[in-house]
Every structure is written in structure tokens, then in C-alpha cells.
């Protein structure tokens, strides 16, 4: 958090660093051990550590794809 209590600047820096590292192939995409669409809904315990880890990895992959597609769209405009 910045001195003014604003996290936006820090979040922009984190996203910029992740995208730059991905272009340099320094940020590997996380490897999931189960499919979040097929296997996780069948789990009886969603609070299992492996399941939660896979959900976090899935969210990271989804957010990276969303931000890169948004950036491509904005660059093309």
C-alpha cells in the first residue's frame, strides 16, 4: 500500500512485471494437477489444499489471459 492508501499503482506495477516476465519467458504458467472444470466440481471437500491450490492457479491463468487480451485490444485501437 502506498503512503496515500492507494493500491492501484502497486497493482499496475505487478501486472506490468508479470507481463514483461512472461514475454521474456521468466514467469512460467502454473501447472494444475486437476482440471478445474471437470474434476474440482466432483470433489467432496472443496477445502482440500490441493483443490484450493489448483483454484488459485486457475484464477492466475485466467487473469493473465484476460489482461493480455485487453492489452492487445487497447493497443490495436
Question: What's the angle, vertex CA 16, arms to CA 12 and CA 18, rounded to 5?
Answer: 120
Q: CA 71, CA 39: separation in Å to the nearest integer? A: 31
Question: Which pLDDT value is given to residue 44?
Answer: 64
Contact 51/45 with Cβ under 8 angstroms?
A: yes
Q: CA 18, CA 13: separation in Å to the nearest integer? A: 9
The burial class, CB within 10 Å (0-12 / 13-18 / 19+), for 15 is middle
Q: What is the pLDDT of residues 38-64, one digit of tens each?
A: 877 776 677 888 888 888 888 888 888
Question: Which pLDDT value is given to residue 29?
Answer: 79
Amino acid at each position: 500500500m502506498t503512503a496515500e492508501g492507494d493500491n492501484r499503482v502497486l497493482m499496475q506495477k505487478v501486472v506490468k512485471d508479470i507481463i514483461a516476465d512472461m514475454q521474456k519467458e521468466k514467469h512460467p504458467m502454473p501447472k494444475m494437477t486437476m482440471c478445474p472444470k471437470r474434476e474440482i466440481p466432483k470433489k467432496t471437500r472443496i477445502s482440500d489444499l490441493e483443490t484450493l491450490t489448483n483454484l488459485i492457479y486457475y484464477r492466475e491463468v485466467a487473469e493473465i489471459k484476460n489482461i493480455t487480451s485487453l492489452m492487445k485490444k487497447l493497443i490495436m485501437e
